[in-house]
Amino acid sequence: MTASPQSAVGASEREEDRQRRSVALAVISAAQLMFLLDATIVNVALPSIQRSLRLSGSHLEWVVASYSIAFGGLLMLGGRAGDILGRRRVFTAGVALFTAASLLGGFAAEPWLLTVCRILQGVGAAAASPAALSLIAVTFPEGPERNRAVGWYTATATAGGGVGILAGGLIAAYLSWRWVFFVNVPIGLVVIAATRRVMPETPRQRGAFDAAGALTGTLAALLLVYGLIDGAQGGGNWSSWRVLAALGAAAVLAPAFVVLERRHPQPLVPLRLFADRTRLGVYAVLALTGTAMFGIFFFLTLFLQQVWDYSALHTALVYIPLTCLLVLGAKTSSWLFARLGARTLVCGGLLTAAAGMLWLSRIGDSAGYATGMLVPTVLTYAGLGVTGVPLTLSALARVADEDSGAASGLFSMARQIGGATGLAVLGTVVWSVVASAAPGTPAWEALSEGASQGFVVAAAITALALLVALVTVPGKERTVI
């Protein structure tokens, strides 16, 4: 029996549709990789940037911080913009702004221009990042197909930090620092061109922006991220009037934002998203794990270079197997998710990561790389790697299409706020230990002790995330697969 012409045409159309969705997923993942890569690739090139532009220490810190502040502070606004204006349109505009700012940043000859370019990069990433995740939510239906898509997306996104360190090390060793910006340009141009070909526009929702909510919510997020980052500068700056004013204003604006959103018919962030206990718990777990992971990443890099005297390139190479573990964990977890459910996978991963962080706190007393760093970081990265897919799927489950942009913005914002908090909390612990070291203590020894204490705090924060996950993340019987 031969297939009818109609069934053959139908099968051909389904195959073409699957191929289009696969290309769309590759485009979305490449863009997210670029945004997260940019948060770390600049770090390794900072000494070269400082020498080239003759930057002071404070100016140099803001080359990194300005991107994080703009990115983290504008995610809510970016997510809602995609819901109202169309997600493909906002995604393309965000990537275009990010690409243009990268090109201009590569040619920057003045410190102020480089900082402006970093802010514009953050604005572009804040517009495109939630649109990218929400495009996955509306393109792939809940079930195995979305699970696989989120697995690829999470694997690519989690590779961003490690790839950024490796690329930064190679560029610092063999090219000009300007290439940490130029490398984004060809990627951005390919993403823009492919987006127009393979990604249909989502329906635009009727209504106008919630101006009052946008102002209060965005300012609250910006000031919170600014206060946390500025407070951690220079080993602890919490008594600064700028830090106190920023955090105080954020504390006032946040409840005002909630009141405004409750009253507005078309709010920037629909509060119904927080009515789901699972989604609220996922946001909390993301923030807590971001706090632990970002702090570990920052101070482990510092430890390798200042205590073990690793070069920038050597440090970058150390992160290769760890990045591979994050990717492998994300890919494996999409398969495990259907068999174990979200709670078992997330809690098992967090327990493994917490054990790895606690072991890592002994790095200063260890005999060397293998037992002091490799084994505990393998546990840490593998444990965190398997949590990405179930957390993402749990956050997007049962979200209406019209709310997927806002939900995606909150998802990304939880990670950004967690990262800023990680530098603030662990930075305060580490530098306090360093400052309290006995007179005459070598700098490397004081930093080693401070980093060890910081890793203990990171393990405790991860354990807290485990407790939150136990009571909020659904078991297998309630997991959408």
| One domain, residues 360 and 341 | yes
Residue range 167-181, pLDDT digits in tens: 777 777 778 889 989
- Give the three-state DSSP class for 305: helix
Residue 2 lies in a domain: no
Compute the average pLDDT of residues 7-15: 55
- Contact in structure between 70 and 219 (CB atoms under 8 Å): no
Rounded to an integer, the average pLDDT of 367-391 is 84
Closest CA relative to residue 370, chosen from 327, 332, 321, 330: 321
CA 337 – CA 114 distance, rounded (Å): 43
pTM of the entire structure? 0.77
Which domain range does residue 254 map to?
210-267
Q: Distance between CA atoms of 120 and 332, rounded to whole angstroms?
A: 36
Q: In the block, which residue shows the tokens 């002994």?
A: 362
Q: Is residue 1 part of a domain?
A: no
Q: Is 479 a domain residue? A: yes
Res 369 pLDDT > 70: yes
The answer to whether residue 25 sits within a structural domain is: yes
- The rounded distance, in Å, linking the Cα atoms of 357 and 71 is 27
Question: For residue 357, what is the domain's CATH number?
Answer: 1.20.1250.20
Same domain, 256 and 282: no
Is 3 a member of any domain?
Answer: no
The answer to whether residue 316 sits within a structural domain is: yes
Cα 220 to Cα 9, 118, 223, 372: the distances in Å are 53, 20, 5, 40
Contact 90, 28 (CB under 8 A): no
Do 109 and 131 lie in one domain? The reply is yes
Q: Which of 152, 170, 204 is the endpoint of a domain?
A: 204
Residue 480 confidence (pLDDT): 47
Measured CA to CA, the distance from residue 128 to residue 442 in angstroms comes to: 46
Q: Are residues 54 and 158 in the same domain?
A: yes
264: region left, alpha or beta (phi > 0 left; psi from -120 to 50 alpha): beta
Q: Are residues 227 and 145 in the same domain?
A: no
d(CA 419, CA 414): 9
Q: Is 114 inside any structural domain?
A: yes
The gap from C-alpha 208 to its chain's centroid, in whole angstroms, comes to 29
- pLDDT of 281-312, one tens digit each? 998 998 899 888 877 877 887 788 788 888 77
Given a contact cutoff of 8 angstroms between Cβ atoms, the answer to whether 197 and 22 are in contact is no
**Which of 186, 204, 222 is the C-terminal boundary of a domain?**
204
Residue 95 confidence (pLDDT)? 94
Same domain, 329 and 443: yes
pLDDT digits (tens, 9 = 90+) for 16-65: 667 777 788 888 888 888 887 777 777 777 777 878 888 765 566 677 77
Give residue 59's pLDDT.
65
What is the predicted pLDDT for the residue at 481? 44
Same structural domain, 379 and 430: yes
Token reading at 289: 């794990």
Q: What are phi and psi of 313, to 5 degrees?
A: -70, -40
Per residue in 235-280, pLDDT (tens digit) is 567 788 888 998 999 999 989 988 888 887 777 777 787 878 888 8
423 and 381 both lie in a single domain: yes
Q: Tell whether 231 and 289 lie within a shared domain.
A: no
For the chain, give percent helix, strand, coil, nearest 5: 85, 0, 15
Whether residue 218 is contained in a domain is answered as: yes
User: Mind listing the pLDDT tens digit for each residue in 188-243?
Assistant: 999 999 888 777 766 666 656 677 877 888 888 888 877 877 776 655 677 888 88
What is the average pLDDT score of the chain? 80
253 and 217 in a common domain = yes
Nearest to 386 by CA among 473, 300, 297: 473
Number of domains in the chain: 3
Q: Which of 347, 299, 298, 349 is nearest to 470 (CA)?
A: 347
- Please tell me whether residues 431 and 467 are part of one structural domain: yes
The pLDDT-based confidence of 4 (bands split at 50, 70, 90) is low
Q: Is the pLDDT of residue 83 over 80?
A: no
Higher pLDDT pick, 249 / 321: 249
